[in-house]
Amino acid sequence: MDPKEAAAGRIDALGASLIELSHAVHSTPELAYEEHRSSAALAAALQDLGFAVERGIGGLPTAFRADAGHRGPRVLICAEYDALPDIGHACGHNIIGASAVGAGAALAPLADDLEMRVTVLGTPAEEQGGGKCELIEAGAFDDADVAMMVHPGPHEIVDMPTLAVAHLDVTFHGRESHASAYPELGRNALDALTISYAAIAALRQHIRPEERIHGIVTHGGDAPNIVPKRTEARYYVRARTMHELHELTERVQRCFEAGALATGCEVEVSHVSKPYDRVRHNPKMASLYDDNLRRLGRAAIPAAAMQRSAGSTDMGNVSEVCPAIHPMMSIESLPAVNHQAAFAAHCVGPAGDRAVLDAAKAMAFTVIDIATTPGALEEIRAGFDAARN
Ligand SMILES: [Zn+2]
Ligand SMILES: [Zn+2]
């Protein structure tokens, strides 16, 4: 039997259980590094499907690795399963996790014939923390020849431009005092924060159109009648490349220092986690994936037509260490988009469920093409080397 027909047949046969898995993850949203039930559900499903599963890899309790196949190049399919505070699975990582299991399930019985080894890697903490960055450092990607995942979104787009991002924690230190009786003895850390907030708002007029700076106040003081002695904020800074990110982060740092200087406070800025790099979509892998989308009756729009950047992802760091793709698959959610509560509802709607199966098939078909097309892997490697030089 044609391997793609075999893969599609297996995914369809498992369809109900894959969708059930997606809904189960969706119904128990867990934040970064706390995805105990979600990672357990995905790892158990892969074990039942015959994978050799190792839990808690790289020192991360909610990371896992599931291996199938005995010889040949290794494809690594990344599963994500963390959710967002308050709005749950509003980025659809339930679909990412279930489709990774589906692709793995389709490929495992074919792996030895295809002479490909297949790994489904459970990668926690994409929304904050950067589980893939930690797994890269722990060596989890060392034996990967290619890596891929599919992310749900409002549009079908194979090579969505993404941004590099730095995650900053900012703390202002002032001096407390009675806010009414002895205000002249206080140094107001909330004033320092709001002046910084306004300075960053002014900075936005004079940055590149793709760049983004956005933040929240995470601690604004303790009581209205105490001059705030300590305030805290968390800011994300995004730019097209790591170099431009570094330059922009320095300008944002000046804004924090301005707030501290004006109010007689001190400021501390630290990186919450490793910066995420932009995704370098491997051209050959992207073109194989695009062809398989068409076979599934889906049509991707060109990245240039979007005329905007998406967010950022730790898959960008993966694309620095091995050839990778990170396509966005439409779940027909408009006007709802990622990180809106209405988007979370679409992630278990009919189009969201269809995306679980289609993403699994598109990834499985792409792996089959890589395995069976003479010269494909060489072309993928050449494209990876060219992007790095
Ligand atoms: Zn996401
Ligand atoms: Zn997200």
Closest CA to 236 of 276, 264, 267: 276
pLDDT (tens digit, 9 = 90+) per residue, 317-333?
999 999 999 999 999 99
How far away, in angstroms, is 127 Cα from ligand 1 center? 6
How far away, in angstroms, is 338 Cα from ligand 1 center? 8
How far away, in angstroms, is 126 Cα from ligand 1 center? 7
Which residue reads 């039930």 in tokens?
Answer: 37
pLDDT (tens digit, 9 = 90+) per residue, 65-110?
999 999 999 999 999 999 999 999 999 999 999 999 999 999 999 9
Of the CA atoms within 13 Å of residue 189, those in its CB half-sphere come to: 27
Asked whether 325 and 144 are in contact (CB, 8 A), the reply is no
Return the ligand number nearest the Cα of 152. Answer: 1
3-state secondary structure of 66: strand
Strands 266-276 and 230-239: what pairing?
A: unpaired
3-state secondary structure of 21: helix
How far away, in angstroms, is 256 Cα from ligand 1 center? 29
H or E element: which one contains 5?
A: helix 3-13
Residue 97: count other Cβ atoms within 10 Å of its Cβ: 33
Q: How far apart are CA 20 and CA 52, in angstroms?
A: 22
Asked whether 111 and 66 are in contact (CB, 8 A), the reply is no
How far away, in angstroms, is 339 Cα from ligand 2 center? 6
Return the ligand number nearest the Cα of 315. Answer: 1
How far away, in angstroms, is 164 Cα from ligand 2 center? 14
Q: How far apart are CA 18 and CA 200, in angstroms?
A: 45
Burial annotation 129-144 (CB, 10 A radius, 16+ → b, else e):
bbbbbbbbeeebbeeb
How far away, in angstroms, is 100 Cα from ligand 1 center? 14
Confidence at residue 86, expressed as pLDDT on a 0 to 100 scale: 97
How far away, in angstroms, is 37 Cα from ligand 1 center? 18
Confidence at residue 383, expressed as pLDDT on a 0 to 100 scale: 97
Return the ligand number nearest the Cα of 78. Answer: 1
How far away, in angstroms, is 157 Cα from ligand 2 center? 16
Number of DSSP helices (H) and strands (E) in the chain, helices first: 14, 12
How far away, in angstroms, is 376 Cα from ligand 1 center? 29
How far CA 205 is from CA of 41, 163, 180, 304, in Å, comes to 46, 19, 37, 24
Of the CA atoms within 13 Å of residue 217, those in its CB half-sphere come to: 16
Question: Could you give all domains of the chain from N- to C-terminal order, each with its CATH number?
Answer: 3-162+278-388 (3.40.630.10), 164-271 (3.30.70.360)
Residue 160: count other Cβ atoms within 10 Å of its Cβ: 23
Q: How far apart are CA 324 and CA 321, in angstroms?
A: 9
Asked whether 166 and 245 are in contact (CB, 8 A), the reply is yes
| Residue 220 tokens, joined | 């604004």
Q: How far apart are CA 62 and CA 195, in angstroms?
A: 40
Closest CA to 269 of 281, 254, 282: 254
Positive or negative, the CA dihedral 26, 29, 33, 35 is: negative
How far away, in angstroms, is 31 Cα from ligand 2 center? 12
- Around ion ligand 2, residues with a beta carbon closer than 5 Å are 91
| Residue 371 tokens, joined | 């395995």
Of the CA atoms within 13 Å of residue 211, those in its CB half-sphere come to: 23
Burial annotation 298-335 (CB, 10 A radius, 16+ → b, else e):
bebeebeeeeebbbbbbbbbbbbbbbbbbbbbbbebee
Please identify every stretch of the chain with a pLDDT value under 70, giving residue numbers as ranges.
none
Which residue reads 């300075």 in tokens?
Answer: 199
Closest CA to 23 of 8, 38, 45: 38
Q: Apex CA 83: angle with CA 10 and CA 40, to 5°? A: 50
Q: Rg (Cα) of the chain, in Å, rounded?
A: 23
